[in-house]
A = this chain, B = another copy of it.
Amino acid sequence: MKIAIVGGVAGGASAAARARRLSENAEIILFERGNVPSFANCGLPYYIGGEITERNKLLVAPKELLEKRFRLDVRTLQSVEKINREKKTIQVKNLADGTVYEESYDKLILSPGASPFKPPIPGVDHPGVFTLRDLKDADMIHQMVQEPDGNAVVIGAGFIGLEMAENLVRRGWNTVVIELADQILPPWDKEMVEPVSQHLKEKGVQLILSDSAVAIEKTENGLSIKLKSGEVIDARFVIMSVGVRPENSLAVDSGLDVGARGGIQVNTNMQTKDPDIYAVGDAVEVVDFVTGHPTQIPLAGPANRQGRIAANHIFGKDSHFRGIQGTAIVSVFDMTAAMTGQSEKALVQKQLPYEKIYTHPANHAGYFPGAEGMSIKLMFAPDTGKVLGAEIIGRSGVDKRIDVIAVAIQAGMTVEDLEEMELAYAPQYGSAKDPVNMAGFVAAGVLRGDHAIVHSNELHNEDFVEHFLLDVRTPSEFEAGHIKGSVNIPVDELRDRLDEIPCDQKIVAYCKVGLRGYIAERILIQSGFDVVNLSGGFTTYQHIHGT
């Protein structure tokens, strides 16, 4: 068995190591276009920023290790240019000397990854405009950032853009982030990332939203970036991080199928329509585990598992990729933003039915020092209560809760299952009613019809303008800021002041996070009022409407 693997990072390296564990006799050749295989691409921004000080640490599985431990034939600086499916050969170009040669294969695994997209604007190919894909890119930027000098401009506020912004600030650069969308992390729901935007600004990042670069010009001491709005920004250099595109040319050229967004199409064994060619990692189209729709999400974890699955299948082991949930996390200075499953935006776009709730719990028991807040948004099926997705932002403990919900989605659990979860509780780690349980309580209450809610994004719709807005927080909370037109009756006084509430009007109750509002709702409903609670309270309201 002769296996040729195109691409030596994540998926390719995993496939190679797995193949070797399954067969000592196979000939396994790993072609890597760059100068090192299997490097830690998720660590590159932190190497640039100086948090990772040793470049060596980025070499997860150095060439020598792959050769010795897994007896792989690792060929760096070699680019696979063509596939001859009939002859089962590939044409390889040695980038070091320009020579071209042919190599045969029994099985071919494509793991070419995805390449950073460079928008076709004038000046985008200037040497001061970087993208960040591999160690070579990282080395160049690393050298550039050593001495802060004017502006560093990041175009695109996705994961890499935000991580780069943080690391440029760490290096002392005056950092400007330009994003086409009206929010950072465009695939996320806007209200959830609002506090992260705020945090970026507090840390000194200049955030320009709803704008884009239309031209980049060379100046005496760097670059000048012209924006669509007319604004012009000087920059010493630019990091272009506006997304990636699957590297599909090899697949397309050899007649393999690709999907609407360019991802190489494979079955659950990671096999293309040519049974001798597999494809894995960021270049393939995958099935969304929640919706069943085709999708394209570059993630390291799934890439690794896909590599394993391809190798398993080559050696006759039945092994299937179950699809992708889109579990992702990003650290932004002192904050963490994480999601799994569908965003509300994605559900709307796919016209799938959903309900949502917001909560703002603390990461652990409030009585133990160091408790920090987080915000959770949970999407679920309005009929079955099946969990469809979640977004969480906060500080400590965000990663734990998103993982717990990710497993719930994998298991097909409902919001009622979240209520019942028995999670580890001691005051340093959580609460007897963990944030995930609490989100479950709220969502299940809504699902069962015990808890009628309204959302902040609907509150100023025509349907609600006639509502009586009841703020049930304390007078001091009310004074510090409230929804315009609301009347303050603290929940603890509510039973004694029912006569102040109109009985011929629908009522929207709200508090800070939704808990007291819910208690108020229960009191009022049982006293004959027609009332709904504002999900996520004034906190979510502020994330949507500002302060």
Contacts and interface: CB of A to CB of B under 8 A. Distances in A.
Interface of A: 10, 20-25, 40, 42-43, 46, 51-53, 57-58, 60, 65, 68-71, 289, 299-305, 322, 324-325, 327-331, 336, 338, 340, 365-369, 399-400, 402-404, 406-408, 410-411, 413, 417, 419-430, 432-434, 437, 491-493, 495, 516, 518-519, 522-523, 526-527
Contacts of A24: 522-523, 526-527
B402 A324 contact: no
A53 to B, nearest CB: 8
Interface centre among A10, A46, A402, A407 (most CB of B within 10 A): A407
19 contacts: A40-B365, A43-B365, A43-B367, A52-B369, A57-B366, A65-B492, A68-B493, A71-B495, A299-B425, A301-B425, A302-B422, A305-B437, A329-B424, A331-B426, A399-B424, A402-B424, A406-B421, A406-B423, A411-B411
A299 B403 CA distance: 23
Interface centre among A327, A403, A421, A495 (most CB of B within 10 A): A403
> Nearest 5 pairs between A and B by C-beta?
A411-B411, A329-B424, A300-B432, A24-B526, A68-B492
Given A301-B437, A523-B24, A422 B327 contact: yes
A407 B340 CA distance: 16
A72 to B, nearest CB: 12
B425 A300 contact: yes
Given A403-B400, A424-B402, A429 B302 contact: no
A426 B367 contact: no
B434 A301 contact: yes
A331 B428 CA distance: 8
A420 B410 contact: yes
A46 B411 CA distance: 37
Contacts of A422: 289, 299, 301-302, 324-325, 327, 340, 406, 410
A365 B428 contact: no
Nearest to A304: B432
A367 B410 contact: no
A425 B329 contact: yes
A529 B408 CA distance: 42
Contacts of A327: 422-425
B407 A424 contact: no
A42 B427 contact: yes
Contacts of A365: 40, 42-43
Given A52-B368, A422-B325, A399 B430 contact: yes
B404 A40 contact: no
Contact of A305 (B68, B406, B420, B427): B420
Contacts of A21: 518-519, 522
Given A51-B369, A367-B58, A403-B404, A329 B429 contact: yes
A453 to B, nearest CB: 15
A21 B428 CA distance: 29
Contact of A432 (B65, B301, B369, B404): B301
A408 B407 contact: yes
Given A410-B422, A422-B327, A426-B330, A301 B433 contact: yes
A354 B495 CA distance: 57
B69 A429 contact: no
B417 A410 contact: yes
Nearest to A417: B410
Nearest to A56: B367
Contacts of A68: 492-493
A157 to B, nearest CB: 16
Contact of A368 (B22, B46, B328, B522): B46
Contacts of A40: 365, 367, 427
A125 to B, nearest CB: 30
Contacts of A71: 495
B305 A23 contact: no
Contacts of A404: 403-404, 407
A305 B492 contact: no
A10 B433 CA distance: 10
A403 B327 CA distance: 17
B406 A42 contact: no
A422 B330 CA distance: 15
A396 to B, nearest CB: 10
Contacts of A325: 422
A132 to B, nearest CB: 15
Nearest to A434: B301
A160 to B, nearest CB: 11
Contacts of A69: 491-492, 516, 519
A299 B327 CA distance: 31
Given A367-B43, A367-B57, A420-B305, A426 B329 contact: yes
Contacts of A491: 69
Contacts of A10: 432
Interface centre among A427, A516, A519 (most CB of B within 10 A): A427
Contacts of A329: 424-426, 429
Given A52-B368, A300-B432, A526-B25, A340 B427 contact: no
